[in-house]
Structure 1
Amino acid sequence: MPRNKVKIAFIKDKARKNSFMKRNEYLKDKLKEVSILCSIKACVIMYSSYEPQLEMWPEDKTAFQNVLNAFLTKSPMERSKFLLKQDSYIKERISKIK
């Protein structure tokens, strides 16, 4: 059964903020699950135009600082292994498909 056409429109401020907050919480929950299931240390920094301060996960500053320091102490070559830019990701996916 076909779906109706969705009208593309700008989301109102209150709805946009609510949607952002829900997605923000969902992201933190998923990151927590992945870090527990895979036994890895992870952190995230989120910036929002709705709040003046940066939001961090995990909220324990020492745990966050440990993860960040572990990343920053690696050499730039090792660090680049963990970073992926959109254009390099797309090129990698295209090469795998071919």
Structure 2
Amino acid sequence: MNLLKPTHKLQHLHFGIILTMHRSKVKLAFIKDNKARKNSFRKRKECLKNKLKEVSILCSIEAWVIMYSSYEPQLEVWPEDNTVFQNVLNAFLTKSPMERSKFSLKHDSYIKERISKIK
């Protein structure tokens, strides 16, 4: 077997042995066990923080997230540094209303989109 032979199994041209790590799609369903549901939420919350950190570093942007859970009495903000929040908010407020709405997504339209994907 020639390891330098190009393989076209994926969209891009790869040389050598292809190692793929494929994650199966997360099944969207209600988790009945309360402890398992809390644990799943905690893991996804940490994953969201990691992804936000990666995107902000890779794209050289400042990003901020507010998370709310019915399991915890207070909102969780990440990163906790308030200067990041002020910078993101000021950048948003300096844009015109047309620019602000360009990439916005309303909650109800998001939910409808997700429901249609599940069906």
Structure 2 length-normalised TM: 0.59
Q: Distance in 1 between matches of 2:98 and 2:91?
A: 14
Matches within 5 A, 1:34-53: 34-53=55-74
Name the SS of the counterpart of 1:56 in structure 2: strand
Kindly state the Cα deviation for residue 60 of structure 1 after the two structures are TM-superposed: 0.6
Kindly state the Cα deviation for residue 11 of structure 1 after the two structures are TM-superposed: 2.1
Structure 1 length-normalised TM: 0.71
Q: Is the 8 A contact 1:45 1:54 kept in 2?
A: yes
> Aligned residues: percent identity?
77
What does residue 33 of structure 1 align with? 54
What does residue 66 of structure 1 align with? 87
Q: Distance in 2 between matches of 1:13 and 1:52?
A: 17
Q: Is the 8 A contact 2:56 2:62 kept in 1?
A: yes
Matches within 5 A, 1:69-80: 69-80=90-101
Q: Is the 8 A contact 2:65 2:78 kept in 1?
A: yes
C-alpha RMSD of matched pairs (Å): 2.0
Larger Rg: 2
Aligned mate of 1:21, from 29, 36, 42: 42
- The alignment covers a number of residue pairs equal to 81
Q: Is the 8 A contact 2:68 2:75 kept in 1?
A: yes
Cα deviation per residue 1:44-73 (whole Å; 9 max; x = unaligned)? 111111111111111111212221222133
Q: Which runs of 5+ in 1 are unaligned?
A: 1-7, 91-98
